[in-house]
Structure 1
Amino acid sequence: MGIEAFTGARDRLLRIIDDETDIAMILDETLASLHAVTRFSWCALMTVDPRTLLPTGGIVEGFAAEACAPFWDNELLAPGFNKFNALARSTDTVATLYDVTDGDIERAPIYTDLYAPLGVADELRAAFVLGTTCWGVTDLVRATEDGPFPSHEVSQVRSLAPLIARAFRGGVCRLDAATHGPAAMLVIDGRNQIQNMTMESRALLDELQTSGVAEPGLPSLLGAAVTRARFSRTSTNLVTRVCGISGRWLRVTAVPMEGGRGQVGVMIEPARSSDVVPILLESYGLTQREVEIVLLLARGLATKDIAAELSLSSHTVRDHVKAIFDKTHVNSRGELVARIFSEHLLDGLEAAVRHHS
């Protein structure tokens, strides 16, 4: 696995960065590139939500499907080394278990919990980061007979990591756009009557009916958002999320139009993946500030870092965290993130992950 293999892996990644490659192909090409530069027997290669660092899909190779939940329980709840949220904030986003434990990997809870029965020599983890944003992670695991990851192979994975991050960012953004679907666009007059609308609008308007009988004109859910946007003195637009009658979440953006006649432009679209976690958090009765804090907790930020990010005192952040724990019935940050993940996101992740034997 010398310079020729590395050059081939690098060129493979460069080709998919500039193409309109879908996320499935990006994952396949990334996995092939990693195999080209280092040896491993088990692998999890995952896209993540940049706001929470929770996984959204990917490829699992070698691990049994039933190992998915225990792996993430260990990641979110157990102490350990090279946690993904720590790597994503580190100046070096690639690390091995052998190095961080000084060769004694049995010190790591993940070894005891998952790796011991497999015969594992080492684990390499990487977070794929651009700037301050993490777009994906990987966990590569070597068998006992192969020994720890050699330093030159770790260096090659480290050199590929920025290219993988660029490829993941493009694929995730295209995936969001592809699953987004056509948007409904409407112009609402000063009396909350529909003045104009696009062809796709009717189906999404039907989603917003609040009773079994179709409401004539503008559904009341949408009318409330339009009225609030029209008379708001604090913002130039209003963005909200509403749940349709099918249980599907929709994103509504209402923008007052120029002219002084009370017209409001409205866009209705399926909620993006980045909308899902805030919706779930709000279902616990969390305030907007508390939602912001949970998203920062999920990224692994300490109290003082959250305080700096939100321009709050550390004491105020601790008060918010206590309120969050009370509302979600948990006792720790890890338990909070694990609950959100296991109760609301794990089933979707398992459906989105492809397993290779």
Structure 2
Amino acid sequence: MTRPYRHAEILSAADRATDVLDCFGRTSAGLKRLVPFDAAVWSATDPETGLVTAPMLVENLGSGEGCGAYWESELLEENVLPFRDLARAAVPVAGLRAATGDLPGRSARFRSLLEELGVDDELRAVLRVGGRPWGSVSLFRMRGAPAFGEGDIALVAGLSGPLADRLRRFAGPYEPDDGKGSSAPGLLLFDEHGEATSINEEAREHLAALPDGPVVPSALGMNLPIWVIGTVLQARAIAQGRDRGNARIRLRTRDGRWLSCRASCLSGAGGRPGPVVLVIEPATPADLAVIVAEAHGLTPREFEIARLVAQGLSTSEIAAALFISPHTVRGHLKAVFGKAGISSRGELVARLFAGGHRPAS
């Protein structure tokens, strides 16, 4: 059986999925027959920051109670194969034992968590297309199983782009507030150790609308979704100089609304990193512009031109701003209209920047 045929089997199953979580489940079942594994974690990621977001599928790792420790190690410790590096690697897939010369103890993640869980090897992959990460997966083999080999890594690498493309098709457009949830910002405060210390009622309401997934207990009398915890951890990582990215994700509620979640580390005494404040609120069209453009399959140049159209620039003004000919601008606009299923600039603004219909899967 050739590898392309193996890919086709898995992708055909993914094409029958009704949503991202279903896509993860179908893909995992098909992949397990070709690359055996004992447990797995599949997660959607924010395509701009690479941070995990909803939904997440955890298979054969209990109730996911170790997720908090897993992502704390991922973002705040020196590790082998962090997802942030894999997202930029020539091949966005790697095995822990292969990368460490069969010495997985070189990884803090392995020493502090995986070894205790009985994990012998981990294969990690970032699902990316167009340079943007739309998902991540960790496959685990327990003690007694062979390490992931070159063939396993190559097979999963061949699925990275096609699966990412399918994930981004599920990204929906901005949906104006319809009164289903609070429109006010929710606020959570975490101390310098990452423990939640206070929350307002708007945040409770927003969090209650999120889909099911792994959670972390808190002293606030409620469990906090791992996506929120990951965003806070990223803010701490940035404050500690471990990353220069943004601590922000976009995620969908159970009823299809989009929320924006962002965290920032405050300064403590003597300039030391202090508490982290997290804001969760309804996403605006601007928050979702890139996601919606990607869901329609626009190239970076096409999105740039669409954005300038939304700002009210004429064809000649866009051409001058981008140092290209008006003919080239019109060609890009024609491509945008075709991909988005529209026929005018007004429809473009409405579809990509102020709401519209979900792109076809």
Return the TM-score normalized by structure 2.
0.51
Mapped pair 1:37 → 2:24:
no
SS of equivalent to 1:296 = coil
Deviations 1:32-65 (A, max 9, x none): 2321221111211100112222211211112133
SS of equivalent to 1:141 = strand
Q: Which amino acid aligns with 1:121?
A: D
4+ residue stretches of structure 1 with deviation over 4 A?
Answer: 206-209, 243-249, 327-332
Q: Do 1:14 and 1:163's aligned partners in 2 also have CA atoms closer than 8 Å?
A: no
Aligned counterpart, 2:9: 11
Distance 1:207 1:103 in 2: 51
Deviations 1:222-281 (A, max 9, x none): xxxxxxxxxxxxxxxxxxxxx9899669xxxxxxxxxxxxxxxxxxxxxxxxxx99xx99
Q: Do 2:38 and 2:60's aligned partners in 1 also have CA atoms closer than 8 Å?
A: yes
Aligned counterpart, 2:20: 23
Return the TM-score normalized by structure 1.
0.51
SS of equivalent to 1:74 = helix
Distance 2:270 2:56 in 1: 30
Aligned counterpart, 2:84: 85
Q: Do 1:10 and 1:33's aligned partners in 2 also have CA atoms closer than 8 Å?
A: no
Aligned counterpart, 1:135: 134
Quote the offset at 1:144 in angstroms. Answer: 2.1
Distance 2:38 2:46 in 1: 26
Aligned counterpart, 1:50: 47
Aligned counterpart, 1:72: 71
Change (3 A) 1:35 1:15: closer
SS of equivalent to 2:25 = helix
Aligned counterpart, 2:213: none
Distance 1:77 1:21 in 2: 35
SS of equivalent to 2:31 = helix
Quote the offset at 1:147 in angstroms. Answer: 1.7
Distance 1:150 1:88 in 2: 20
Quote the offset at 1:327 in angstroms. Answer: 7.3
Quote the offset at 1:136 in angstroms. Answer: 0.5
Quote the offset at 1:340 in angstroms. Answer: 6.9
- Give the number of aligned pairs: 219
Residue 60 of structure 1 is aligned with which of 58, 61, 71? 58
Quote the offset at 1:123 in angstroms. Answer: 0.9
Q: Do 1:93 and 1:127's aligned partners in 2 also have CA atoms closer than 8 Å?
A: yes
Q: Do 2:203 and 2:280's aligned partners in 1 also have CA atoms closer than 8 Å?
A: no
Deviations 1:83-107 (A, max 9, x none): 0111111111001111211111112
Structure 1, unpaired ranges of 5+: 185-199, 210-242, 250-275, 285-289, 300-322, 346-357
Percent pairwise identity:
23
Matches within 5 A, 1:157-306: 157-171=156-170, 173-174=171-172, 177=173, 181=175, 183=176, 203=179, 296-298=245-247
Quote the offset at 1:7 in angstroms. Answer: 2.3
**Larger helix share, 1 or 2:** 1
Compare CA radii of gyration and give the structure with the larger one. Answer: 1
Deviations 1:120-142 (A, max 9, x none): 32111000111221000011111
SS of equivalent to 1:59 = strand
Change (3 A) 1:106 1:134: same
Change (3 A) 1:246 1:162: closer
Distance 1:58 1:67 in 2: 14
Distance 1:207 1:35 in 2: 41
Q: Do 1:135 and 1:165's aligned partners in 2 also have CA atoms closer than 8 Å?
A: yes
Structure 2, unpaired ranges of 5+: 185-200, 208-226, 249-263, 282-361
Deviations 1:185-212 (A, max 9, x none): xxxxxxxxxxxxxxx6xx58x9779xxx
Q: Which amino acid aligns with 1:53?
A: G
Aligned counterpart, 1:94: 93
Distance 1:11 1:80 in 2: 34
Aligned counterpart, 1:152: 151
Quote the offset at 1:330 in angstroms. Answer: 8.6
SS of equivalent to 1:124 = strand
Aligned counterpart, 1:268: none
Quote the offset at 1:298 in angstroms. Answer: 5.0
Quote the offset at 1:295 in angstroms. Answer: 7.7
- The higher-RCO structure (CA 8 Å, 6+ apart) is 1
Distance 1:107 1:246 in 2: 40
Q: Do 1:123 and 1:141's aligned partners in 2 also have CA atoms closer than 8 Å?
A: yes
Mapped pair 1:326 → 2:325:
no
Q: Which amino acid aligns with 2:161?
A: P
What RMSD in Å do the two structures reach over aligned CA positions?
4.2
Distance 1:99 1:12 in 2: 25
Change (3 A) 1:139 1:331: farther
Matches within 5 A, 1:117-136: 117-136=116-135
